[in-house]
């Protein structure tokens, strides 16, 4: 267990994971949008996506196990976006241009991104206020 939060909620690292790795994954998950907006060129964005999403994907079980039931649908929306981007970009060797040229895939990613954006404020509040992560 990491911290006791208000109203009986706890931040904990699930069995088999470390609290440091979980915290790092949470911070990466929450800060991905900022990292991408700070990447100036297309190759930098491609590299940043791979750098951010690969560890998040690896920590998916720990992330899902660490949130209270009421936040699981929100985390599922965010991780659904990560999974979709990871799957689609891996298929084209992380080539953003290939994704942008496929309007059907780009539309899927945009829709998943909107769901993830809508879910993120509640997750930020939980991780920042309850878990006391500096986000």
Q: Does residue 28 lie within any of the structural domains?
A: yes
Looking at residue 6, its pLDDT comes to 42
Q: Does residue 9 lie within any of the structural domains?
A: no
Number of domains composing the chain: 1
**Residues of the chain under the 50 pLDDT cut:** 1-9, 15, 17-18
Q: Does residue 32 lie within any of the structural domains?
A: yes
Q: What are residue 3's DSSP bridge partners?
A: 11
Looking at residue 55, its pLDDT comes to 85
Q: Does residue 46 lie within any of the structural domains?
A: yes
User: In the numeric block, which tokens belong to residue 47?
Assistant: 């590299």
Structural domain for 122, as ranges = 19-130
Q: Does residue 86 lie within any of the structural domains?
A: yes
Looking at residue 4, its pLDDT comes to 41
Q: Does residue 48 lie within any of the structural domains?
A: yes
Q: Does residue 135 lie within any of the structural domains?
A: no
Looking at residue 19, its pLDDT comes to 56
User: In the numeric block, which tokens belong to residue 32?
Assistant: 């991905």
Residue with tokens 């750098």: 51
Looking at residue 35, its pLDDT comes to 59
pTM here is 0.76
Q: Using alpha carbons, list the distances in angstroms from residue 77 to 6, 13, 15, 17, 125.
A: 24, 21, 24, 22, 16
Looking at residue 43, its pLDDT comes to 83
């Amino acid at each position: 267990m990491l911290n006791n939060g208000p109203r009986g909620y706890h931040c904990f690292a699930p069995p088999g994971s470390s609290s440091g790795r979980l915290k790092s994954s949470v911070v990466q998950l929450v800060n991905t949008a900022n990292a991408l907006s700070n990447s100036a060129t297309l190759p930098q964005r491609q590299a940043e996506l791979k750098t951010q999403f690969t560890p998040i994907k690896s920590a998916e079980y720990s992330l899902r196990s660490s949130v209270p039931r009421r936040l699981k649908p929100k985390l599922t929306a965010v991780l659904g976006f990560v999974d979709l981007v990871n799957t689609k970009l891996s298929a084209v060797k992380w080539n953003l241009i290939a994704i942008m040229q496929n309007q059907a895939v780009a539309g899927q990613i945009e829709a998943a991104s909107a769901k993830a954006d809508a879910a993120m404020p509640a997750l930020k509040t939980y991780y920042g206020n309850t878990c006391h992560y500096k986000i």
